[in-house]
């Protein structure tokens, strides 16, 4: 029995599991490989925020919602792993459909470990992550020649069983940072970055529902982050931080951007 408690070889496994990135939301940002696998799938275990039109591509599959929502209903990760193993024993093509990219804040390692320990064949299919979709939607590059040569992908969120995170120091040391699952803790996020010596006037850009028709952009200064977050709806949002945001917004602002506090 492995560290996660999954026993290898207890039942014949003939199926293959695909950890597939659903992208940031818009169905037409799926990769061709992802769309093909959804069409072939016997069963799809999907995250909560996957677009209904994306799920509709799995027209011959059983759909199982195993989603996690920040601050809301959440499916235990060990349960998800057990469902994956059970599905692989019963079906030939199993798709685990994750929002964004499976390998970035997608809890992929737990599922990879469970599949390996059980001897289940699997493949990972990348997807467009939210930070890249937000950058494209706002026409604000994450890098800028002579100004931003480093990009960090960070989350301040820490699980119940995890230790403390040095996320704020990572952001302060990067030219540009994309913060996931940070908007709902705006005061903590702002204060953590200011405590690392970041300039209160550092430009920030919030993008809610990146790539979808109801996408929203809010831009301003780090010191005003809680006020900006208060204007968001209840959708998922990514926070972009760094001087590249200021230069790009000044030269080519998005027509849907709402600028405040600058």
Which residues are part of the catalytic machinery?
Answer: 47, 68, 181
Which 8-state DSSP code applies to residue 42?
S
How many C-beta atoms surround the C-beta of residue 251 within 10 A?
9
* Angstrom distance (rounded) from CA 231 to CA 208: 10
Largest CA distance in the chain: 61
* C-alpha distances in Å from residue 185, one per residue of 66, 110, 198, 209: 24, 26, 18, 18
* Angstrom distance (rounded) from CA 56 to CA 45: 13
Secondary structure (3-state) at 84:
helix
> 142 phi and psi, to 5 degrees?
-75, -20
β-pairing, 176-180 with 237-242? Answer: antiparallel
Q: Which of 220, 219, 214 is nearest to 233 (CA)?
A: 214
């Amino acid at each position: 029995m492995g560290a996660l408690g999954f026993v290898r070889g207890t039942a014949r496994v003939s199926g293959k599991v695909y950890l597939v990135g659903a992208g940031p939301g818009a169905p037409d940002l799926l990769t061709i490989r992802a769309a093909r696998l959804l069409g072939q799938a016997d069963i799809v275990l999907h995250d909560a925020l996957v677009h209904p039109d994306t799920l509709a591509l799995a027209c011959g599959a059983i759909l199982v919602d195993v989603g996690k929502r920040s601050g809301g209903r959440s499916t235990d990760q060990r349960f998800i792993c057990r469902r994956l193993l059970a599905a692989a024993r019963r079906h030939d093509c199993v798709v685990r459909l994750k929002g964004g990219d499976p390998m970035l804040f997608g809890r992929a390692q737990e599922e990879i470990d469970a599949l390996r320990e059980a001897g289940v064949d699997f493949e990972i299919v990348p997807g467009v992550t939210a930070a890249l979709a937000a950058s494209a939607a706002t026409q604000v590059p994450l890098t800028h020649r002579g100004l931003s040569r480093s990009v960090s992908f960070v989350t301040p969120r820490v699980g119940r069983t995890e230790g403390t995170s040095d996320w704020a120091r990572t952001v302060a040391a990067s030219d540009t940072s994309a913060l996931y699952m940070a908007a709902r803790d705006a005061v903590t996020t702002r204060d953590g970055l200011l405590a690392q010596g970041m300039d209160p006037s550092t430009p920030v850009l919030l993008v809610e529902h990146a790539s979808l028709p109801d996408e929203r952009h809010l831009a301003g200064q780090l010191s005003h982050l809680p006020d900006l977050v208060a204007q968001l709806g209840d959708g998922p949002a990514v926070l972009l931080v760094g001087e590249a945001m200021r230069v790009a917004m000044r030269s080519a602002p998005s027509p849907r951007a709402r600028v405040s506090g600058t």
